[in-house]
């Protein structure tokens, strides 16, 4: 499918801080994952260079079930652009201490990634209890 998912957010922080939040394991663990899931800081491995791998394991706060995200960085341009798989994240300095972050990914990549995420959860726990919401 050629459909793309694009999410744009403006953060009240300069690009170097947003970049650090993406690339320092302890910081990434503080925000990565759905609500109700917590990343284990010791599980976060970020080899931030082209060809380097990342790996994050999050734990469900209620039932302790685990989910692992992993991938390979394809582009690392500090503090402007970070790409992994079919996903590109750009950080634009708005010049007033804020950063516009744009996240873009294709559905092929998301389907594959989610297939792995869901597959792992189902095989381990036999259910997928996340609520789904409408997007187009």
Give the closest residue to 1 by CA, choosing from 101, 67, 86, 71. Answer: 86
**With contact defined as beta carbons under 8 Å apart, do 69 and 117 qualify?**
yes
- The least CB distance from residue 34 to another protein, in Å, is 4
Q: Is the dihedral of CA 9, 16, 106, 58 positive or negative?
A: negative
Q: Which is nearer to another protein, 27 or 65 (CB)?
A: 27
Q: Which of 45, 77, 108, 129 binds another protein (CB under 8 A)?
A: 108
Between CA 51 and CA 58 the distance in angstroms is: 23
Between CA 60 and CA 12 the distance in angstroms is: 29
Q: Which of 46, 59, 88, 113 binds another protein (CB under 8 A)?
A: 113
Contact flag: residue 126 with another protein (CB under 8 A): no
Between CA 70 and CA 57 the distance in angstroms is: 9
Range 7-36, binding another protein (CB under 8 A) = 7, 9, 11-13, 17-18, 21, 27, 30-35
Q: Which residues are near another protein by CB under 8 A? A: 1-3, 5, 7, 9, 11-13, 17-18, 21, 27, 30-35, 101, 103, 107-108, 110-116, 118-119, 122, 130-135
């Amino acid at each position: 499918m050629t459909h793309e998912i694009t999410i744009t957010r403006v953060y009240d922080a300069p690009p170097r801080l947003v970049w650090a939040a993406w690339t320092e394991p302890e910081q990434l663990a503080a925000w990565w994952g759905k609500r109700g899931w917590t990343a284990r800081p010791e599980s976060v491995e970020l080899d931030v260079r082209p060809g380097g791998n990342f790996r994050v394991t999050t734990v469900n706060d209620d039932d302790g079930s685990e989910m692992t995200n992993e991938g390979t960085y394809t582009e690392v341009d500090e503090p402007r652009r970070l790409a992994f798989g079919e996903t590109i994240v750009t950080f634009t300095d708005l010049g007033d201490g804020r950063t516009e972050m744009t996240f873009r990914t294709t559905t092929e990549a998301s389907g594959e990634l989610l297939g792995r995420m869901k597959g792992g959860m189902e095989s381990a726990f036999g259910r997928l209890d996340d609520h789904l919401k409408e997007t187009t």
